[in-house]
Homo-oligomer: A and B are copies of this chain.
């Protein structure tokens, strides 16, 4: 089945899981998503917002087509927000095992996932965020999703993100929340 597109956005990312998740939300808005290979240059910052804005501006400058950039992180309360904006690097080095070790013996398991979405599609320049609160599981569970999904249990659920299908994850996730807000605004501004 071919998607009906009212509008096309270039998603600057190397993460195919993110593309799948965002594509499914975009379909609700008749927006098509194409993964784009433009280099994503990220600055260092303790906040996601400047990272995403900067990356989007650079991508738009080189591509000159409507771009979507998304940056996300897992913020663990008892670790002062670690791994935060560096979640991907931390996942690749110490991994889930390392994060579980750091939380060993710590009662406070609270954490949240945050996503910042930036769309540059003149005349629209949209910045939206989504947050989902939850707790870090004692052991990883599930094999869906990516990154720290196997140890994140969203509030009100018993399952980790990695135990949910994409459709289910999109009902709760930080990324789906941010993307829905952004697409709603985009639709209003561009009348698509």
A-side residues, CB < 8 A to B, are: 41-44, 46, 51, 79-84, 86, 89-90, 92-94, 98, 101-102, 104
| In-complex Cβ contact of A93 among B43, B80, B89, B92 (8 A) | B80
Q: Which residues of B contact A92 (CB under 8 A)?
A: 80
- Report how far A79 CA is from B93 CA in the complex, Å: 6
- 19 chain-A/chain-B pairs, Cβ below 8 angstroms: A44-B51, A44-B86, A44-B89, A46-B89, A79-B93, A79-B94, A80-B93, A80-B94, A82-B93, A82-B94, A82-B98, A84-B89, A84-B93, A86-B86, A94-B102, A101-B101, A101-B102, A101-B104, A102-B102
Q: How near does chain B come to A66, taking the closest CB pair, in angstroms?
A: 24
Q: Which residues of B contact A101 (CB under 8 A)?
A: 101-102, 104
Q: How near does chain B come to A41, taking the closest CB pair, in angstroms?
A: 6
- Report how far A82 CA is from B83 CA in the complex, Å: 12
- Report how far A153 CA is from B81 CA in the complex, Å: 29
| In-complex Cβ contact of A43 among B41, B46, B80, B83 (8 A) | B41
A-B residue pairs, 8 tightest by C-beta: A82-B93, A42-B44, A80-B93, A82-B94, A86-B86, A79-B94, A43-B43, A44-B44
| Minimum CB distance partner of A93 in chain B | B82
Taking A84-B93, A86-B86 as given, write out 8 further A-B residue pairs in contact, using a Cβ cutoff of 8 Å, ordered by the A residue number.
A41-B43, A42-B44, A43-B43, A43-B44, A79-B93, A80-B94, A82-B89, A102-B102
| In-complex Cβ contact of A98 among B42, B84, B102 (8 A) | B102
Q: How near does chain B come to A92, taking the closest CB pair, in angstroms?
A: 7
- Report how far A82 CA is from B89 CA in the complex, Å: 8
